[in-house]
A and B are shown apart, each in its own frame.
Chain A
Amino acid sequence: QQQVKQSPQSLIVQKGGISIINCAYENTAFDYFPWYQQFPGKGPALLIAIRPDVSEKKEGRFTISFNKSAKQFSLHIMDSQPGDSATYFCAAARYGGSQGNLIFGKGTKLSVKP
């Protein structure tokens, strides 16, 4: 019940295309869903995050869609660029009452071809 399942494992997209990465969770107590971007040799960096009280959040070319009833959320990268090539991790946490730890998915390696 603590798992976060992420798909696909890898994704190849043409420059200008839309990249879509999906995650599913089981624990309904989770109330914070961030996406992290990680480049080789670097630590993960927060990209965008959402709380379950909204169904969508957009920041620039990055959008999170959240479906509470299905316990799923996804990351959409519009107009994908070669610089977006990285590994993306979804995560979930329960922050009720104290700072909870992040449960990460296994990651999606995105390659954007020029």
Chain B
Amino acid sequence: EAGVAQSPRYKIIEKRQSVAFWCNPISGHATLYWYQQILGQGPKLLIQFQNNGVVDDSQLPKDRFSAERLKGVDSTLKIQPAKLEDSAVYLCASSSGVWTQYFGPGTRLLVL
């Protein structure tokens, strides 16, 4: 079974630029999550999708972050414009049921 795929793996941008991350969940997993992991901290949920609908986006900074999951499969997370404090690893996870979330390798973002 293929795992959660994410791209790119690394990204360096200047502040105020825009950036997009892509996630392909495990086949058949209806639930998709985006987490932000700042260095030295645990992951923090940004947004949760059930199929192509948003379940929870209460911690998503909506003035600069957006996410979509068209057709209920792949998902894209966008930051526009980026700030220095957005430097972090962005993790995508997926789940087929209630309990176990499977994480991808993450995209490491550095904002200069």
Contact = CB atoms under 8 A, between A and B. Distances in A.
Interface of A: 4, 6, 32, 34, 36, 41-46, 49, 89, 91, 95, 98-99, 101-102, 104-107
A46 B105 contact: no
A99 B98 contact: yes
Contact of A107 (B4, B42, B55, B100): B42
B105 A42 contact: yes
Contacts, number: 55
B55 A99 contact: yes
B70 to A, nearest CB: 20
Given A95-B98, A98-B55, A99-B31, A105 B42 contact: yes
Contacts of B101: 46, 102
B42 A104 contact: yes
Interface of B: 4, 31, 33, 40-45, 48, 50, 55-56, 91, 93, 95, 98-106
14 contacts: A34-B99, A43-B4, A44-B91, A44-B103, A46-B101, A46-B102, A89-B42, A91-B42, A95-B98, A99-B98, A101-B45, A106-B41, A107-B40, A107-B41
Given A99-B31, A99-B95, A46 B100 contact: yes
B43 A44 contact: yes
Contacts of B31: 99
B42 A43 contact: no
Contacts of A99: 31, 48, 50, 55, 95, 98
Given A104-B41, A104-B42, A105-B42, 19 more contacts: A4-B42, A32-B99, A43-B93, A43-B106, A44-B43, A44-B103, A46-B101, A49-B99, A89-B42, A95-B99, A99-B48, A99-B55, A101-B33, A101-B45, A101-B48, A102-B45, A104-B43, A106-B41, A107-B42
